[in-house]
Amino acid sequence: MEALPDNWANIQPLTVYCCSTGLLVSFAESQIKLGLKYDQKGKHLKAIEKGLVPSRGNIGLIASQELGYDLKSKVLSKGGDRRFHAKFINDVLHFPGFVTEH
């Protein structure tokens, strides 16, 4: 299984990637487009790679409050106003292209 790339341009839709934590992730085409548009520095990819973290003061994945979603990416400082939400499908954390601003 491939490691999660650090650049949205290198991610293929619906391919399952393995993070260093062992977490399996996949991305819909619409999520990749959002990543290319809003996350040019790959901060959300770094957060996804880091995995689950406490919600305060950390970059990583935290619980999503959106109905039907399990986790969301959280980044700090520039670019930190958006969250990419994901849900587990057959043990793979899938990012379908749902983004919120806070």
| pLDDT averaged per 10 residues, the chain (length 102) | 95 96 97 95 95 92 97 81 95 97 81
**Cα–Cα distance, 92 to 57 (Å, whole number):** 26
**pLDDT the model gives residue 52:** 95
Residue 93, phi then psi, degrees to nearest 5: -80, 110
For strand 24-27 and strand 2-3, is the pairing parallel, antiparallel, or unpaired? unpaired
**Cα–Cα distance, 81 to 20 (Å, whole number):** 25
**pLDDT the model gives residue 80:** 63
**Cα–Cα distance, 70 to 34 (Å, whole number):** 19
pTM of the model: 0.94
The closest alpha carbon to 39, from 73, 64, 70, 69, belongs to 73
